[in-house]
Amino acid sequence: MTGGAIGLLLLRLRANPRLTTRVFAASLAANLLGLASSFYTMLVLNRYVTHGVDSTLVALTVGVVLSIAFEHLFRHVRLGIAGHIGRVEHERLATGAFGILLTARSGAGSAEGDAARREAMRAPEQIDAALGSANLATLFDLPFALGFIVVVALVSLPLAAICVLFTLLSITAGLLAQADMRAVGRDLAQAGAYAQGLVTSAIVGRDAVALFGGAKPLLSEWQRAAKVLRTMRERMSIRQGRAQSMAQSLQALQGVAVIATGAVLVVRGELDVGSLIGINLLVGRALAPFTRLAQIGESLAMARQAQLRLEQFARTAVEPPTGTSLPRYGGTLELRDLTYTPAGAVTPLLRRLSLSVPAGNILVLKGRNGSGKSTLIRLIAGLGDPQEGAVLADGVDIRKFAPLWWRQQIGYLPQEPVFLNRTIRENLLLANPRLSETELQAVLHRAGADRAVADCAQGLDTPLRNFGQELPVGHRRRLALARALAVGGRLILLDEPTDGLDAEGTAVVYRTLIELARVGHTVVIASHDPRILQGASLVLDLDRPQDTAMIPDTAAMVAS
């Protein structure tokens, strides 16, 4: 068994001392009762065959049958108890991994990254399967194999020496097989993650794949990946088969060595035939746990790889669970020497950007696609961290705020809205649980989404599927605007709010912006819309050199 699997096993056993003690007691009872069949063979051959007393045979047979029945009962009880070992640890691993997934610092992401995250989320299940009740029972039987060897030694030291020799050979072969399977398991995990990346690409980009000739190259890539994956699985299967074959061969050779040596001892008068046959059964039981260990080697090797994936995933940067908050956010916003370079990029997307937006003003971000408008809005929302500089709200670096508190100060409309697979009502109430039914209707009306909701069969209780992607673009963006307004934050972040909207929808956005400005909200908008640009207090042109990017109107600002 690999060191990683041993560590996981010991961790679970230490965390469950009472259950571990009960499993050990059940294993002890089962293995002691397992001696009965060997002693039965010895006694029948040495006593009944010699003396022919039928009552002796009946008593021995009844006794061994009862022993076998109780051995089965203890092994069954052991499986039930072992199933509870690690339950809490599994839930902790699964919950912890999902918690990291939910609180990970947002980045650009990739299909490969998504696949790696999916593989990490599968890791707790793989570990739990590898250390399931049946495999735990096998591992608990290993130390009792030594007890069988001790019993053999009490009858014949030469045969016990043979048993020790083959046990050591089995352990060595098992360790070598585990090392071999561990290397293959690592390659298999990588091949699986790559294949999952292709699946993610096909699902997320299905329209582009269908419309723009992506099917053929993606299919070719999938065929290559499937071939590699199958090759890795075949290599793992072959190595597991070799391990099992080696274990069976060693068991057979041990039987030959015991019978041959025992026959010599019988001829010399140092051992009787009944003891020889009984010992042959005992040494088989001593080697059996190591044979089963080879059979579960693949799952243990995969558990080690799963643990490594979890350890790597655990190093993911996550949002802090706590932080400071302000008694009341006034609405001022400042960028101070802000520099941001996307992952994998050579040059910064935003460089030493400084500006000040007083409360109640409207800042419009303009620039070509890829100039950093959406990125800047995400940085203000706290969905990413600049490499240099800071985003400040009322003079405080937003990284010092508790993320939950800061998000409650923000109404955010992303360029590509995504909803949870829940009802429309639940999506809005998750954004602000304090909303009454009247307030919900008012928010929908302000965003022009009341008609979109009325078009849905179940109104507010309509369940959204596929993260809301089944809705028409206009409906989706109006509902997303309603969700942003539902938060009730003093700072409103809008990324291309008029994209995908008809004349009526854009008129609603204009009316909403006027209302937000009238009541003193601070608004940051990424947009090329001329009417939105006309109503701006400040315009930040990200196409211009960023030390001259600010175009002032009525607000004070600081340019780097």
Taking only the tens place, the pLDDT of each residue in 79-99 is: 889 888 888 888 888 888 888
User: Does domain 333-552 sit in CATH 3.40.50.300?
Assistant: yes
Taking only the tens place, the pLDDT of each residue in 213-233 is: 777 888 888 888 889 888 888
Distance CA 256, CA 284 (A): 11
Average pLDDT for residues 456-465, to the nearest whole number? 88
Average pLDDT for residues 446-473, to the nearest whole number? 87
Q: How confident is the model at residue 522 (pLDDT cuts 50, 70, 90)?
A: very high
Taking only the tens place, the pLDDT of each residue in 241-268 is: 887 788 788 888 888 998 899 889 888 8
Q: Where are the alpha helices (DSSP H) in 104-156?
A: 111-130, 133-155
Taking only the tens place, the pLDDT of each residue in 312-342 is: 888 888 888 888 999 999 999 999 999 998 8
Which amino acid, residue 136? L
Radius of gyration of the chain measured on its C-alpha atoms = 35
Positive or negative, the Cα torsion across 33, 38, 40, 46? negative
Asked if residues 384 and 105 have their Cβ atoms less than 8 Å apart, the reply is yes
Asked if residues 536 and 553 have their Cβ atoms less than 8 Å apart, the reply is yes
- Of residues 486 and 131, more confidently modeled: 486
Instruction: Give the per-residue pLDDT at 207.
Output: 63
Instruction: Give the per-residue pLDDT at 6.
Output: 65
Instruction: Give the per-residue pLDDT at 111.
Output: 43
Q: Where are the alpha helices (DSSP H) in 456-558?
A: 473-487, 503-518, 530-534
Helix 133-155 to helix 273-295 angle, to the nearest 10 degrees? Answer: 150
Taking only the tens place, the pLDDT of each residue in 356-395 is: 999 999 999 998 888 899 999 999 998 888 999 999 999 9
Q: Is the pLDDT of residue 548 over 70?
A: no
Instruction: Give the per-residue pLDDT at 545.
Output: 64
Which amino acid, residue 193? A
Which of 489, 479, 486 lies closest to 434 in space, CA to CA? 486
Which amino acid, residue 44? V
Taking only the tens place, the pLDDT of each residue in 7-60 is: 677 778 888 889 999 999 999 999 889 888 888 888 888 888 877 788 888 998
Please give the angle made by the CA atoms of 334, 347 and 370, to the nearest 5 degrees.
70
Please give the angle made by the CA atoms of 334, 340 and 344, to the nearest 5 degrees.
165
Q: Which residue has the tokens 């068991």?
A: 251
Instruction: Give the per-residue pLDDT at 298.
Output: 66
307 CB-near residues (< 8 Å, 6+ apart): 4, 8, 123, 127
Tokens of 203: 């699902």
Distance CA 408, CA 403 (A): 9
Secondary structure letter of residue 462 according to DSSP: P
* 227: number of Cβ within 10 Å: 11
Taking only the tens place, the pLDDT of each residue in 129-188 is: 888 888 888 888 888 888 888 888 888 899 989 988 988 888 788 777 777 777 787 788
Kind of pairing, strands 362-366 and 522-526? parallel
Distance CA 486, CA 480 (A): 10
Q: Is the pLDDT of residue 110 over 50?
A: no
Distance CA 22, CA 8 (A): 19
The count of residues in the chain is 560
Instruction: Give the per-residue pLDDT at 208.
Output: 67
User: Which residue spans of the chain are classified as CATH 1.20.1560.10?
Assistant: 3-314
Instruction: Give the per-residue pLDDT at 313.
Output: 85
Asked if residues 77 and 160 have their Cβ atoms less than 8 Å apart, the reply is no
Instruction: Give the per-residue pLDDT at 243.
Output: 78
How many separate helices (H) and strands (E) can be counted in the chain?
21, 10
Average pLDDT for residues 103-124, to the nearest whole number? 68
Distance CA 267, CA 363 (A): 102
Instruction: Give the per-residue pLDDT at 481.
Output: 93
Helix (H, G, I), strand (E, B) or coil at 330: coil
Instruction: Give the per-residue pLDDT at 4.
Output: 56
Instruction: Give the per-residue pLDDT at 295.
Output: 67
Out of 99-103, 538-542, 543-547, pick the least confident: 543-547
Q: What is the mean pLDDT of the chain?
A: 84
Strand arrangement, sheet containing 388-393? 350-357, 333-340, 388-393, 396-397
Distance CA 42, CA 51 (A): 14
Superfamily name and number for 3-314: ABC transporter type 1, transmembrane domain (1.20.1560.10)
Determine whether 151 is exposed, middle or buried from the number of CB atoms within 10 Å of its CB (0-12, 13-18, 19+).
Answer: buried
Instruction: Give the per-residue pLDDT at 287.
Output: 80
Distance CA 37, CA 277 (A): 11
User: Which residue spans of the chain are classified as CATH 3.40.50.300?
Assistant: 333-552
